[in-house]
Amino acid sequence: MARLWGQVALITGAGRGIGRAIAERDALEGATVVAVDIDESAVEQVVADIRANGGEAHGRIADLGAVETLAPLIHDLAERLGTLDILVNNAAVTRAIDFFAVRPEDWDQIHRVNARGLFFCMQAAAELMRERGGGHIVNIASIAGKGFPGTSNIAYAGSKGAVIAMTRIAAHVLGRHNINVNAICPGVTRTDLYYQVVRERAEATGRLEAEVMEAFDANIPVRRSNEPDDIAALAVFLGSDESRNVTGQSWNVDGGLIWD
């Protein structure tokens, strides 16, 4: 039987990249997927594709930085669908910024979604899961949050370090309510954000984009950057009962870039 059969899974930032891959994999594993993203056309497309492949999916438009909207959104969805079993906190923003070029507004924009929005989404979902007797929360962090020097910028690394810390604390607090909380820390992953960083770094250094991509892969022990589905495979496990005794962990998926 599919590992997520009968479960309701909400995935933020589900319009593309890692979030889309997780939404599609969860649907293939039998979950009813709620795809949340700020991009309406992207949400409509992922929902249509899941349904075309025989899955069940619903879409919602939301800005994860507008935290006052998150609890009403999550509670409304749970009321309509009857439950919320899995939350995947994936929505994030970043861009390539030199250490000395980071401005207060850059810091605030990144942390608004990556840390502040993630926490209040997790809080609202945990309230529902506590009422129904349990659930699984998967936070998408990054090896940048563990000090990987190849990060797009220090503000992004700080926001993902916050995600790792919040994952550990939430796991400790919520374990008594049968709620598992884990983080996935992707390394170099070929998403829209990846290609954006590649373009920005190529422009900043005067190199070709292909040269920047080759340099990224050359530093990975397996010589291969992630595809979004590499992250989705682990997200399915962490959202399933197979991981019932796994909580508070930050799992690297990075081809061996770091060992923490």
Side by side, the strands of the sheet bearing 32-37 are: 56-61, 32-37, 8-12, 86-89, 135-140, 179-186, 250-253
Distance between the two ends of the chain, CA-based, in angstroms?
Answer: 34
* Mean local confidence (pLDDT), 106-132: 97
The Cα 98–Cα 211 span in angstroms is 20
- Give the residue from 59, 86, 159 showing the smallest Cα distance to 118: 159
Average model confidence (pLDDT) across the chain: 96
Q: Cα separation of 4 and 202, whole Å? A: 41
By C-alpha distance, which of 120, 132, 159, 147 is closest to 8?
Answer: 132
Give mean pLDDT, residues 154-158. 98
- Is the pLDDT at 194 greater than 90? The verdict is no
pLDDT of residue 192: 84
Q: Which residue is it, tokens 């129904």?
A: 132
Share of residues in the chain with pLDDT > 70 (%): 100
CB 124 within 8 A of CB 70: yes
Level-2 CATH architecture, domain 8-253? 3-Layer(aba) Sandwich (3.40)
Q: Is residue 27's pLDDT more than 90? A: yes
Residue 197 pLDDT > 90, yes or no?
no
Determine the average pLDDT of the residues in 121-144: 97
Residue 150 has pLDDT above 90, yes or no: no
pLDDT of residue 193: 75
Q: What is the DSSP letter of 156?
A: H
Tens-place pLDDT, residues 33-91? 999 999 999 999 999 999 999 999 999 999 999 999 999 999 999 899 999 999 999 99
What are the angstrom distances between the C-alpha of 250 and each of 10, 171, 174, 177? 20, 11, 16, 20
23-31: average pLDDT: 98
Residue 196: which pLDDT band, with cuts at 50, 70 and 90? Answer: confident
Calculate mean pLDDT across residues 180-202.
Answer: 90
The predicted model gives 8-15 an average pLDDT of 98
- To the nearest 10 degrees (0 to 180), the angle between helices 154-174 and 104-111 is 30
Sequence spans of domains, the chain? 8-253
What is residue 198's predicted lDDT score, i.e. its pLDDT? Answer: 87
Question: Which are the catalytic amino acids?
Answer: 156
What's the rounded Cα separation, in Å, for the pair 101 and 126? 37
Mean pLDDT of 106-135: 97
State the pLDDT at residue 1. Answer: 64
Under the banding of pLDDT at 50, 70 and 90, the label for residue 201 is: confident
Residue 260 has a pLDDT of 86
